[in-house]
Amino acid sequence: MPAYAELAHEALESTRDALTREYESFKAKGLALNMARGKPSRAQLDLSMPMLTCIVDVDDCTAEDGTDCRNYGVLDGIPEAKRLMAVMLDDDAEHVVVFGNSSLNIMYDTMARCWMFGTLGHMPWCKLDEVKWLCPCPGYDRHFGVTEAFGIKMIPVAMNEDGPDMDEVERLVAEDASIKGIWCVPKYSNPSGATYSDEVVRRLAGMPCAADDFRIFWDNAYGIHHLSDDATQQDQLLDIRRACDGAGNPDRCFKFASTSKVTFPGAGISAMAASSANIADMKAHMSPQIIGHDKLNQLRHVKFLHDGKGLAEHMAKHAAILRPKFELVDRKLSEGLSDIGGCTWSKPRGGYFVSFNAPAGCAKRIVELAKDAGVTMTGAGATWPYKQDPADSNIRIAPSLPPVEELDAALDVFVCCVKLAYAEKLLQD
């Protein structure tokens, strides 16, 4: 079959009509399928059930330094939890602070501290006339939600195969002191799955910034979330903090990670790594806010995951569940959409998403059609600041939650919706 763009008007009309019939037959099934959020499946959650019996006796409650984890105290995390999270953050334990169950909460609070108090003695951002932020696109909707909450003006920059368009990033930050930071999901990026190249990391670390307090919010959410346990099939990422250190900008980055997609999304632990000066500044501001996070849950995670080796073994079990789903996505999209033209999608080696680019002007319609047929996708536009995708093209596919058979059914619907929306669009043009 030729590409849709090459079809004559009548052929396109009959194609559209056939697709409409197919779509109506999907709709008649009354499906309720979900590919919207990066939620682990039930099978993945079951992997961590033994963690819940890691702490049951009084003797289980003591940290290695003698701290009774049931009682108050320890602002920055017990030592063994710092070491564990240092593995996830690719950093040293002394640069790590362990928090509660949400890395989004750390990012928001870190932004709020910069906003209210300034960072390392700089002017609080709330005192400035305007604060701007760089947002590699497509990107993560919850990141954009944080900057939007503070009224920070978001500037999209292109997200390429090797990271953000650094020529554009360097040009912008060099000339505009109101640009205070950039969102980064540097490994198996949300949604494209791309991993920043060493060169991109070094350029981010070293680029001259008009703002002295420019900050990289480095959300390494998928740092150990490979789809294969074969090391040759895993992406490698240069560490940003050491790169910043080497470039003479040691305080430029805040790094974030969590076990949300390692153990339990609702009951994991999260952590941050940064320069010693940043850590000291943050702890001074945290001290009036909280006495300490849940240390029993920190200890529970250490007793279950142990160390880097334990983490890797555990993540291989996740990969075994996730890999078939990603393979299914690629197979279904290839079978259904390769011929019609105009569509591209990513083939990530890790993370939780496939980034799908529909023909321009079709994304909203595709998501609407899918929703009406019982298949919930991430909202079209969500991967752009203010939910405004200028090409109305990008759709994030999240294949982790549904079992394979449900995913299979949902992808059939999705493929039909893409084809139908594309045919409709060409007929309108």
User: Please, what is the minimum distance in Å from the beta carbon of residue 46 to a copy of itself?
Assistant: 6
- 66 in contact with a copy of itself (CB under 8 A): no
Residue with tokens 């990422």: 237
Task: Give me the 234-263 binding string for a copy of itself, x by CB under 8 A, dash otherwise.
Answer: --------------------------x---
| CA–CA distance, 291 with 76 (Å, rounded to integer) | 9
76, 90, 109, 213: residue in contact with a copy of itself (rule CB under 8 A): 109
Please name every residue paired with 154 in a beta bridge, in sequence order, or none if there are none.
Answer: 133
140 binding a copy of itself? (CB under 8 A): no
For the record, the structure tokens of 261 come out as 């997609």
- The answer to whether residue 297 forms part of the interface with a copy of itself (CB under 8 A) is yes
| Kind and range of the H or E run holding 131 | none
Contact between 322 and a copy of itself (CB under 8 A)? no
* Tokens read off for 202: 């070094």
Strand partners, 396: 355
Q: Within 10 A of 231 (CB to CB), how many other CB atoms are there? A: 9
**Residue number with CB closer to a copy of itself (239 or 281):** 281
CA angle 167, 171, 177 (to 5 degrees): 145
Q: Is 33 in the site for a copy of itself (CB under 8 A)?
A: no
Quick check: 104 binds a copy of itself (CB under 8 A)?
Answer: yes
Which listed residue (148, 170, 327, 330) binds a copy of itself by CB under 8 A?
Answer: 148
Instruction: Classify 4 as helix, strand or coil.
Output: helix
- Cα–chain-centroid distance for residue 388? 18
Distance CA 315, CA 227 (A): 9
Q: Which stretch binds a copy of itself (CB under 8 A): 25-33, 186-194, 244-252, 295-303?
A: 295-303
Alpha helices in 29-176 (DSSP H): 42-46, 79-89, 103-117, 141-149, 166-175
For position 72 contacting a copy of itself by CB under 8 A, the verdict is yes
Residue 266 interacting with a copy of itself (CB under 8 A): yes
Angstrom distance (rounded) from CA 395 to CA 363: 6
Does residue 108 belong to the site contacting a copy of itself (CB under 8 A)?
A: yes
β partners of residue 257: 271
For residue 306, the minimal CB distance to a copy of itself (Å) is 20
Which residues here bind a copy of itself, judged by CB under 8 A?
A: 37, 39-40, 42, 45-46, 48-49, 52-53, 55-58, 61, 68-74, 100-102, 104-105, 108-109, 112, 115-116, 126, 142, 145-146, 148-150, 260, 264-267, 285, 287-297
